[in-house]
């Protein structure tokens, strides 16, 4: 199968070509399910080589997803995939196989499950730890309505480091008598799992005595799947676990535990689900899978193949970049700073690769902390460190920092602790779509008293801002920076401490003043050139500081100009431009302010240039707005 054919058509002689919904999966024989699994893997490997996507996680759940659709009846039965980045196989089996080449492309399939995309997507997601709570809500609703359908929550072992998952576990026994939880255990989230729970799962699956007993139990279930096997299986499983692990996690929460079993044995999965669907109690099935199964490059580098752009099928290689990304500059810079400052530490929430803190981890492991998928804990942990004179840099994607909002307000800002919040992917996140766009952090931070928030126009200024944060100990600071590369203005020489609240005034103008924040400063520069060719006097400001604003520079510009235009990679509601309007209003200045930014809606997925053109984040749109005043 060639890359091109896999992207635009399915193998006409294959099974997947004839799968238009779960009912077609059920027509297959059990041996054919294994054939289907291999075909699904081939389609994923070749198709995603063109579009990019979450290859590794999906290769790991092929047999599981096939077995679910073979045994249960979607959409009457509900499948919830935690995060849902591993939902591509589910999409292939629910009538979307012919569209797989459009995944993560503008107006194509979303890279996560989406309720508006298919009736089989019963719950949308994009962040970890949501599946169990939502599934429990669906099960409770079914019970209230006297229904009989099944609810199955599929969560990776990494999701069990997440607070909401543990909170849901605490409520299952008292809420419903019928729920199936699948623990997909592959020892990875985006990076290698960390913490006590991850160690517990690993010990459970590798203990030789328990492994032997588990296999005997699985064989019985597979062979009999009847009432006699049920009773004996319960006794055998319970006895083995109580002998080896007196405090087994799940049964303490009131869930009957089964496993671990081989998550790539589709026949065993089918027989086990047939058995579990008859149980009138909450159950958890622990399956062992390989992230990236069936594709050696993904097995060799599971972190890289968790989610990536286009790659070569032959060896999994990807195109390199000529200049480092903001994330890479961040990781390198604070590692260098920490080598000079023994009190500087780095914290992330399960994303050393994404935030590029793996540089810090490799060179200064004793001062690197990974909390797992637990942003709330990470923020509180950073607060505790800060009370003791340690300088914590907490690196989390902007979209995930939302989860720690209460801690930022109540624990960090209220106590005026010098925690440094570093929000990667501040702005549009392109192909990942609305669950991952970092378009809200200005709005959820700028109203918090005492916090300092900033964004650099280029890489050199970014390093200076990080250095300023490292040397500021009078309260909390935050920095947002975009995904990918900047304009290529690398830092030369030693970093400098910037004056907080002082903007960079590039030029003054009597007709219009352009204020370009961060990565949209380049757009403001282009607009300046266009306006000057038309004979207008144009001022240009690099604001640097979202909070505190440089009120002197802004009010002076407004008094001298006919119109102000702001540019931001953020929603306009409660964004940077809104803060300019507020500042001028409070100063009784009535200069009109035009704003370039994202609309009051959840922005879809697609290439940034396509989405910017659609939603008016262009130099042309800015010119049109400005010229209406001149």
Phi-psi region for residue 102, left (φ > 0), alpha (ψ -120 to 50) or beta?
alpha
CA distance 511 to 534: 12
CA distance 441 to 397: 10
Q: Which is catalytic among the residues 361, 367, 403, 480?
A: 403
Q: What is the rounded radius of gyration, in angstroms, for the C-alpha atoms of the chain?
A: 27
Looking only at the bridges linking them, the beta strands covering 545-547 and 452-454 are antiparallel
Q: Could you tell me where the DSSP H helices lie in 61-151?
A: 62-71, 88-91, 131-144
CA distance 286 to 258: 6
The DSSP call for residue 630 is: -
CA distance 594 to 265: 60
How many CB atoms lie under 10 A from the CB of residue 196? 9
Q: Which is catalytic among the residues 375, 376, 461, 525?
A: 375
Phi-psi region for residue 356, left (φ > 0), alpha (ψ -120 to 50) or beta?
left
Measured CA to CA in angstroms, residue 533 lies from 492, 511, 536 at distances of: 33, 13, 7
Q: Is 192 part of the annotated catalytic residue set?
A: no
Angle between helices 208-223 and 227-244 (to 10 degrees): 170
Q: Is 375 part of the annotated catalytic residue set?
A: yes
The DSSP call for residue 530 is: H
Q: Which is catalytic among the residues 96, 291, 446, 491?
A: 291
Q: Is 291 part of the annotated catalytic residue set?
A: yes
> Which 3 state secondary structure label does DSSP give 391?
strand
How many CB atoms lie under 10 A from the CB of residue 96? 20
The residues annotated as belonging to the active site are: 291, 375, 403
């Amino acid at each position: 199968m060639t890359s091109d054919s896999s992207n635009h058509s399915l193998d006409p002689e294959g099974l997947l070509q004839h799968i238009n919904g779960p009912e077609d999966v059920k027509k297959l024989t059990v041996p054919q399910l294994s054939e289907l699994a291999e075909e699904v893997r081939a389609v994923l490997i070749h198709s995603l080589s063109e579009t990019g996507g979450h290859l590794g996680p999906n290769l790991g759940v092929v047999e599981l997803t096939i077995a679910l659709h073979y045994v249960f009846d979607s959409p009457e039965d509900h499948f919830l995939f935690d995060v849902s980045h591993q939902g591509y196989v589910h999409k292939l089996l629910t009538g979307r196989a012919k569209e797989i080449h459009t995944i993560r492309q503008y107006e194509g399939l979303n890279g996560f499950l989406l309720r508006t995309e298919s009736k089989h997507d019963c719950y949308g997601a994009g962040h970890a730890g949501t599946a169990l709570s939502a599934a429990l809500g669906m099960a409770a609703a079914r019970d209230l309505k006297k229904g009989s359908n099944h609810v199955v929550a599929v969560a990776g072992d990494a999701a069990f480091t997440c607070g909401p998952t543990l909170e849901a576990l605490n409520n299952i026994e008292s809420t419903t008598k019928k729920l199936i939880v699948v623990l997909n255990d592959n020892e990875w989230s985006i990076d290698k799992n960390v913490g006590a729970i991850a160690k517990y799962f690993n010990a459970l699956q590798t203990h030789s005595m328990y492994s032997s007993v588990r296999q005997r139990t699985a064989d019985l279930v597979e062979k009999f799947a009847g009432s006699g096997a049920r009773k004996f299986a319960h006794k055998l499983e319970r006895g083995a676990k109580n002998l080896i692990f007196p405090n087994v996690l799940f049964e303490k929460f009131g869930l009957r535990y089964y496993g671990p079993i081989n998550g790539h044995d589709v026949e065993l999965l089918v027989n086990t689900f047939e058995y579990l669907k008859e149980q009138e109690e909450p159950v958890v099935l622990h399956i062992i899978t390989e992230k990236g199964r069936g594709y050696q490059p993904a097995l060799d580098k599971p972190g890289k193949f968790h989610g990536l752009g286009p790659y070569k099928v032959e060896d999994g290689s990807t195109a390199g970049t000529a200049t480092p990304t903001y994330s890479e500059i961040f990781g390198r810079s604070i590692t260098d700073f920490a080598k000079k400052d023994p009190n500087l530490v780095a914290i992330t929430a399960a994303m050393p690769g994404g935030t590029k803190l793996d540089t810090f981890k490799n060179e200064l492991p004793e001062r690197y902390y990974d909390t797992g998928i637990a942003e709330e804990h990470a923020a509180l942990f950073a607060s505790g460190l800060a009370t003791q004179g340690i300088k914590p840099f907490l690196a989390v994607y902007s979209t995930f920092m939302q989860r720690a909002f209460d801690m930022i307000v109540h624990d960090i800002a209220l106590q005026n602790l010098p925690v440094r919040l570093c929000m990667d992917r501040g702005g549009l996140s392109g192909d990942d779509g609305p669950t991952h766009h970092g378009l809200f952090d200005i709005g959820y931070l700028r109203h918090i008293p005492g916090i300092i928030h900033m964004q650099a126009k280029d890489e050199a200024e970014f390093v200076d801002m990080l250095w300023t944060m490292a040397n500021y100990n009078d309260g909390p600071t935050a920095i947002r920076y975009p995904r990918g590369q900047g304009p290529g203005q690398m830092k030369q020489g030693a970093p400098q401490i910037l004056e907080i609240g002082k903007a960079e005034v590039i030029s003054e103008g009597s007709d219009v003043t352009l204020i370009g924040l961060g990565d949209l400063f380049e757009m403001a520069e282009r607009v300046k050139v266009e306006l000057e060719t038309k004979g207008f006097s144009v001022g240009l400001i690099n604001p640097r500081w979202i909070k505190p604003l440089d009120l002197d520079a802004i009010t002076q510009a407004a008094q001298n100009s006919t119109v102000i235009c702001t540019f931001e990679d953020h929603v306009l509601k409660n964004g940077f431009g809104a803060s300019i309007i507020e500042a001028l209003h409070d100063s009784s200045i009535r200069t009109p302010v035009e704003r370039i930014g994202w609309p009051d809606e959840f922005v879809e997925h697609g290439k940034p240039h396509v989405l910017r053109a659609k939603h008016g984040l262009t130099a042309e749109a800015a010119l049109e707005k400005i010229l209406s005043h001149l």
